[in-house]
Chain A
Amino acid sequence: MALTRLGDRTNSPELGRRLGLYALLSLTSIAVAFPLLIALSYSFMVERDITSFPPPILPANATLANYREVFDRALRPGSPLPIFHYLLNSFVVSTAVVIGQLVTASLAAYAFAFLPFPGKSVLFLTFLATLMVPWEATIIPNYLTIRDLQWVDTYQGLAVPFMATGFGTFLLRQSFLQLPRDLYDAAVVDGASRFRFLWQIVLPLSRPALGTLAVYSFLATWNQYFWPLLVTNQPIMRTVQVGIVQLRFEESLRWGLVMAGVVIVVIPTILLLVLGQRQLVRGLTAGAIKG
């Protein structure tokens, strides 16, 4: 066994093929991530190098000046580039949406998965229908609602509209249905209340699905653009996505500075991708490959 494997590995046409494959994979990886690598590289460049010809790929005189300037500006009172506020706003709003969705979706999914009640199919259809209404189609009345509630420039205006989710309810219901039905019958016969069963048994056993929903909705909220653009006016209430686009329009000649901003904005989601990849993939492919 060990010998044949050793034989495989020293087999030179096989080795050559494998090295070729690694080379191909590496080149393709660089090509796909090229814009990200360029952003990283330019964030360490001085403007003089960026505008030189031919356009550079790697910094000739690497510098942290762009990052220093982003942070300096952010710390200045009344700063036109309050990037820490952007990050804080995006973080607060995304976290609030994650918590809101976990709560509303697990309650609803529990009812659909375990409780017997009349009218279930009608209510199920109601949840299904929300998946067919694109957010952009209702954005006008939604904006008017938030404005009339005087929620413009507030965290609740940014977060509350997204706290219920048909997708998440569906995802969690699927996961709850995998749990053995006997667990429920036993717990209810034991006299444990239905809510305690959800809290003490269903939720702890469904951690992977909850994680999937959390990673998914954090990323989706963090990357939102249209809605935060509409419901924020003050610079300190902007989210990172709106902030970075604004920065490019205001500093159209300072590419190094803008790319430092890009790197700061993209780091949290790249980290989330690397750490939560399995959860994310499960969420994105839910239903997509069935059949």
Chain B
Amino acid sequence: MLAGPSPQLLASWPTGLLAYSSMTQVQTATIGRLGAAAIRKRRARGARDLIEALLYLAPSLLLFAVFVFIPLARTVYLSLFYTNPVGNPRGFAGLDHYVELATSPAFHRSLLTTFQFALYTVPGGIVIALLLAVLANRRLRGINVFRTFFSSTIAVSLAVAATIWALMLNPSIGLFNYLLGSIGVRGPAWLTDPSSALVSVSLVTIWATLGFNMIVLLAGLQSIPEELYESAKIDGAAGLKIFRHITIPMLSPSLFFLLVVNIIHVFQAFTQIHALTRGGPVDATNVLVYSIYLDAFVNFQFGFASAQALVLFTIILALTLVQFGVVERRVHYQ
């Protein structure tokens, strides 16, 4: 699975923004010392510059307007209305949908399932990827072959991962229950049992995310200066102690980044649910985005689904800002 690009970028945005704002201040200061004619001239040039820049930005801005900003506003608008089955507003709902969200046990269950899903996949996924990255972080002949294997799931879509795991988890012919049986454990029905369905989907998700997590952690490990390890060895530290007191702290930016990104992806999860369980059995895997999908595109309640979509937006925005804040603080203290 390829993880979405958005949050990792934030790490480098703030400095860029600061650079821009300070530049504007300098410009303002210069203008203050100029005469009126010069100001007029400068304004004319400013307008020309702006028009030229907008020509370069126009394709992106147009697409962002049509497919990001207007839809976001329309989601807010739709969430305040009752809609007919083709999605046109029919009657003002006010905050009805939000009141319903606040009181609906089904929606609470869906949120809870999503949190559970995060708990099942994120810590385990990161720990396994860390072990792989540590193993792959050596200078050995042929190490790149192993690294390719370790990162191979990055090339595997969630749809494909789900399809393969459906075979492996199949209770009658799958390898999983055969292996469990050979050590005397009776395996569950996995995908069709409400008590094991979310675990099954989590296993698929952990595997599919492994490649991405491994690549990020390996890059993090490779950026730790060699001298740190050498001086630790001179001081007599070894093995686990070095790992605990040097590797983990130096890796904490990557680990924190993965934590946030993985949680965001859990909140966006849809493919593996649709491909494996369709939200069932009895809503056991009905996570947030799947619930939005059901309400919008199966039950045609676009207004109610839009209200849920805004809950999703708020959660992801909050997570992104947390990441933004932490990164900025770190940059600040350096």
Contacts from A to B (Cβ < 8 Å): 18, 21-22, 24-26, 28-30, 32-33, 35-36, 38-39, 42, 50-51, 53-55, 57, 103-105, 107-108, 110-111, 115-121, 123-145, 160-161, 163-167, 169-171, 174, 194, 216, 219-220, 222-223, 225-226, 229-230, 241-242, 244-245, 248, 255, 258-259, 262, 265-266, 269-270, 272-274, 277, 280-281, 283-291
A32: chain B residues at CB < 8 Å are 132, 149-150, 152-153, 210
Binding site secondary structure of chain B: helix
A131: chain B residues at CB < 8 Å are 5-7, 9-10, 320
Interface magnitude class on chain B: 35 or more
Whether B5 lies near A167 (C-beta < 8 A) is yes
Shortest beta-carbon distance, B328 to chain A, in Å?
Answer: 10
A124: chain B residues at CB < 8 Å are 16-17, 20
What per-residue 1/0 map shows which CB atoms of B100-143 lie under 8 Å from chain A? 00000000000000000000000000000000100110101001
Whether B173 lies near A50 (C-beta < 8 A) is yes
Contacts from B to A (Cβ < 8 Å): 1-13, 16-17, 20-21, 23-24, 46, 49-50, 52-53, 56-57, 59-64, 66-72, 74-75, 78, 87, 132, 135-136, 138, 140, 143, 145-146, 148-168, 172-175, 178, 207, 210, 212, 215-216, 219-220, 223, 253-254, 257, 264, 267-268, 270-271, 274-275, 289, 292-293, 296-297, 302, 305-306, 309-310, 312-313, 316-317, 320-321, 327, 330-331, 334
A245: chain B residues at CB < 8 Å are 159, 162-163, 274-275
| Complex CA–CA separation, A283 to B5 (angstroms) | 9
Whether A29 lies near B212 (C-beta < 8 A) is no
| Complex CA–CA separation, A120 to B25 (angstroms) | 13
Q: Which residue of B lies closest to A259 (CB)?
A: B167
| Complex CA–CA separation, A219 to B155 (angstroms) | 7
| Complex CA–CA separation, A129 to B270 (angstroms) | 23
Whether A285 lies near B216 (C-beta < 8 A) is yes
One of B11, B74, B153, B207 near A141 (C-beta < 8 A): B74
Closest 7 CB pairs of A and B: A164-B63, A29-B149, A223-B157, A138-B71, A111-B56, A141-B71, A141-B74
Q: Which residue of A lies closest to B216 (CB)?
A: A288
Whether A134 lies near B316 (C-beta < 8 A) is yes
One of A103, A116, A127, A280 near B154 (C-beta < 8 A): A280
Pairs A–B under 8 Å by Cβ, sample size 5: A32-B153, A241-B159, A248-B275, A273-B154, A289-B257
Whether B302 lies near A137 (C-beta < 8 A) is no
B297: chain A residues at CB < 8 Å are 143, 230
Whether B17 lies near A117 (C-beta < 8 A) is no
B143: chain A residues at CB < 8 Å are 25
One of B155, B306, B330 near A291 (C-beta < 8 A): B330
| Complex CA–CA separation, A118 to B54 (angstroms) | 11
B264: chain A residues at CB < 8 Å are 134
Shortest beta-carbon distance, A44 to chain B, in Å?
Answer: 14
| Complex CA–CA separation, A28 to B253 (angstroms) | 26
Whether B138 lies near A21 (C-beta < 8 A) is yes
Known: A25-B135, A137-B316. 19 other contacts (CB 8 A): A25-B143, A28-B132, A32-B150, A51-B173, A57-B175, A107-B57, A111-B56, A129-B69, A134-B264, A140-B74, A141-B71, A161-B67, A164-B59, A216-B2, A223-B2, A223-B159, A241-B157, A272-B155, A285-B8
